[in-house]
């Protein structure tokens, strides 16, 4: 199914455009335009900038995507932004909904503990910044756009994702005529500049010219250039502020924040001697980010401060799978939103989501396991369960009963169409069957009653080799991708496109 073709060895095109030529041009483009990541095989590449670089894995051509679904996904972004904010204000709802999850997942329990502490002191967040990414797949069974998950913390790839759109536009400007692909059908992708703009505007709302924006990062981060692109854009948009009012943006690990941070009596967060206006998390979303109590202390410290947290603990909790499932229940959206059209739009993109205390659906899933996915409730780990394994697990859980049931959520199985794609990784191009997931970025900034910003902000297409042993939905190796809008309702097989030349 997959045929490797090292660069230079040509899977030659019949009439003119060679894949090898395009791959070389694309790899060079990545190298000279900063579409790079740290190379896993290079020990220092996750800690020292500028060394051990390799082009980010990418698809050679953008994936076809129907314009109608694209429009639908974009329209959902500000509604989800709004929803996250509304739900975050209902502390009781979050605590109640996650109470059973707390029993089976230590990580969620720790987040809930912080949340409780904030509720106890009636902590208010006047300025609230959300930088989200809502991920979707196209389901070929129902011919609909269905949400996979909503990321409210550390939404990655706004920087590199924007660049992939540029890469594909460049390639199509050059080869598009021969391929019958129009570069103008790739939507402009300003995710990085818009996220930077949102961070800058939050800084402005904080209204302290000497305060810094602090990015909380993992001690080792091979995706650091995605983060640096945000910083770069921030410097471009706010050069005066950055250069002359605070000497630099601060990048800290959770452990460093614990060691160097304090909250002053007036709530001011000071880290390494600098007042922090905005805490932007690019770490802290996974249990692995909290190897000791120090990291939890740091998280609590920041939450207790008056700095703008992106996200706050409540925004973070709204992004859990359990809350996603709760919101999909009848009449729950209505608790948070007034606009019926908005509610209808959201509901339309919800896949079926059920907890295992719904006996009827569990029965159905045991009978027709291929129509469902069993998702571990635990954040940051655990593979989805399909087919035969799903049936076995459900039968076992039913026998055991008790809290174990709360460790999983059942989700309607989505059947994305697979298509043949040229994937490029480590300078090597290979062709394989793939499925794609579209992420739409959203930025939301609120100061008390005033909504300063509520925008859709670009997108990220991720294309993954469909691994058949997990039933064609779960995916292995993934590459960064962009989209080419089509008028068709059903996405054209890329297979057809690749045969054109």
Known binding-site residues for Mg(2+) equal: 149, 151, 379
Residue 33 makes contact with its own copies by CB under 8 A: yes
Residue 410 makes contact with its own copies by CB under 8 A: no
Name the minimum Å distance from CB 416 to its own copies.
28
Residue 12 makes contact with its own copies by CB under 8 A: no
Single residue of 19, 54, 313, 460 touching its own copies by CB under 8 A: 54
Long-range contacts at 383-391 (CB < 8 A, ≥ 24 apart):
383/470, 383/474, 384/470, 384/473, 384/474, 386/413, 386/470, 386/471, 386/473, 386/474, 387/471, 390/365, 391/365, 391/366
Single residue of 136, 190, 203, 225 touching its own copies by CB under 8 A: 225
Complex with its own copies: residue 66 or 159, whichever CB lies closer: 159
Please enumerate, by residue number, every residue annotated as part of a binding site for substrate.
133, 153-156, 221-223, 227, 282-285, 462, 473-474
Peptide bond into 331 cis (omega under 30): no
Residue 208 makes contact with its own copies by CB under 8 A: no
Q: CB of 40 within 8 A of CB of 413?
A: no
Q: Name residues contacting its own copies, limited to 253-282 (CB under 8 A).
A: none
* List 128, 133, 185, 417, catalytic entry: 133
Complex with its own copies: residue 265 or 273, whichever CB lies closer: 273
Binding mask 229-248 for its own copies (x = CB under 8 A): x--x--x---x--xxx--xx
Complex with its own copies: residue 8 or 380, whichever CB lies closer: 8
Residue 378 makes contact with its own copies by CB under 8 A: no
Tokens 């502490």 appear where?
A: 117
Alpha-carbon gap, residue 172 to 185, rounded angstroms: 10
Q: Name residues contacting its own copies, limited to 169-188 (CB under 8 A).
A: 173-174, 177
- The residue range among 31-39, 112-120, 138-146, 458-466 that interacts with its own copies, by the rule CB under 8 A, is 31-39
Phi/psi for 264 (5° steps) reads -75, 165
Single residue of 294, 427, 454, 455 touching its own copies by CB under 8 A: 427
**Distance from first CA to last CA of the chain, Å, rounded?**
20
* List 252, 446, 462, 494, catalytic entry: 462
Alpha-carbon gap, residue 277 to 274, rounded angstroms: 10
Q: State yes or no: is 379 an active-site residue.
A: yes
Tokens 């779960």 appear where?
A: 474
Residue 195 makes contact with its own copies by CB under 8 A: no
Structure tokens at 358: 């719904």
- E strands, 221-364, in order: 250-253, 261-263, 269-271, 274-281, 308-310, 353-355
Complex with its own copies: residue 175 or 296, whichever CB lies closer: 175
Residue 27 makes contact with its own copies by CB under 8 A: yes
CB atoms < 10 A from the CB of 34, how many?
17
Q: State yes or no: is 149 an active-site residue.
A: yes
- The residue range among 13-21, 258-266, 292-300, 356-364 that interacts with its own copies, by the rule CB under 8 A, is 13-21
Single residue of 228, 477, 493, 501 touching its own copies by CB under 8 A: 228
Q: State yes or no: is 462 an active-site residue.
A: yes
Tokens 């509604």 appear where?
A: 79
Single residue of 11, 34, 352, 376 touching its own copies by CB under 8 A: 34
The strands making up 372-376's β-sheet, listed across from edge to edge, are 353-355, 408-412, 372-376
Residue 438's contacts (CB-CB under 8 Å, 6 or more residues apart) are 65, 70, 73, 135, 136, 137, 138, 459, 460, 461, 483
Alpha-carbon gap, residue 350 to 341, rounded angstroms: 15
DSSP string across 57-121: PEESSPEEEEHHHHHHHHHHHHHHHHHHHHHHT-HHHHHHHTHHHHHH-HHHHHHHHHHHHHHHT
* List 303, 326, 379, 431, catalytic entry: 379
Q: Which residues bind its own copies (CB under 8 A)?
A: 6-8, 16-17, 21, 24-28, 30-34, 36, 39, 44, 47-55, 173-174, 177, 225, 228-229, 232, 235, 239, 242-244, 247-248, 426-427
**Which residue numbers are catalytic?**
133, 149, 151, 156, 321, 375, 379-380, 462
């Amino acid at each position: 199914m997959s045929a490797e073709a090292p660069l230079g060895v040509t899977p030659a095109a019949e009439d003119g455009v060679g894949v090898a030529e395009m791959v070389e041009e694309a790899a060079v483009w990545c190298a000279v335009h900063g579409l790079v990541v740290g190379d896993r095989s290079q020990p220092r590449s996750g800690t020292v900038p500028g060394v051990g670089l390799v082009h980010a894995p990418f698809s050679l051509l953008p994936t076809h995507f129907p314009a109608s679904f694209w429009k639908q996904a974009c329209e959902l972004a500000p509604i989800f932004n709004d929803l996250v904010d509304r739900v975050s204000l209902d502390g009781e709802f979050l605590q109640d909904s996650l109470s059973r999850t707390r029993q089976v997942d230590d990580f969620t329990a720790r987040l809930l503990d912080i949340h409780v502490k904030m509720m106890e002191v009636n902590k208010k967040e006047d300025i609230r910044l959300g930088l989200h990414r809502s991920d979707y797949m196209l389901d070929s069974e129902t011919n609909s756009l269905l949400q996979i998950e909503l990321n409210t913390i550390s939404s990655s790839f706004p920087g590199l994702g924007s660049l992939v759109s540029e890469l594909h536009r460049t390639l199509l400007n050059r080869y598009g005529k021969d391929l019958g692909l129009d570069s103008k059908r790739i939507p402009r992708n300003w995710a990085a500049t818009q996220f930077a703009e949102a961070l800058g505007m939050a800084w402005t709302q904080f209204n302290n010219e000497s305060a810094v924006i602090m990015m909380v990062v993992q001690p080792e981060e091979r995706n650091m250039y995605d983060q640096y692109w945000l910083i770069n854009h921030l410097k471009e948009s706010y050069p005066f502020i950055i250069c002359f009012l605070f000497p630099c943006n601060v990048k800290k690990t959770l452990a460093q924040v614990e060691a160097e941070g304090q909250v002053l009596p007036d709530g001011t967060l000071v880290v390494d001697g600098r007042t922090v206006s905005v805490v932007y998390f690019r770490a802290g979303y996974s249990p692995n980010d909290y190897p000791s109590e120090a990291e939890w202390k740091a998280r609590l410290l920041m939450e207790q401060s008056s700095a703008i947290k992106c996200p706050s603990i409540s925004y973070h909790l709204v992004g859990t799978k359990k809350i996603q499932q709760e919101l999909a229940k009848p009449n729950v959206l209505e608790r948070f939103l007034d606009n019926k059209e908005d509610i209808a739009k959201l509901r339309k993109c919800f896949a079926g989501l059920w907890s295992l205390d719904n006996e009827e659906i569990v029965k159905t899933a045991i009978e027709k396991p291929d129509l469902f996915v069993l998702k571990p409730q635990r954040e940051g780990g655990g593979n989805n369960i399909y087919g035969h394994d799903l049936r076995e697990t459900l039968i076992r859980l039913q026998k055991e009963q008790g809290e174990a049931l709360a460790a999983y959520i059942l989700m309607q199985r989505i059947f994305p169409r697979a298509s043949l794609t040229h994937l490029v990784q480590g300078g090597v191009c290979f062709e394989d069957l793939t499925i794609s997931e579209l992420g739409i970025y959203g930025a939301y900034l609120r100061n008390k009653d005033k909504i300063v910003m509520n925008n859709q902000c670009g997108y990220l297409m991720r294309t993954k080799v469909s691994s058949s042993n997990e039933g064609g939905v779960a995916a292995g190796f993934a590459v960064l991708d962009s989209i080419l809008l089509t008028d068709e309702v059903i996405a054209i097989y890329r297979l057809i496109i690749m045969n054109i030349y």
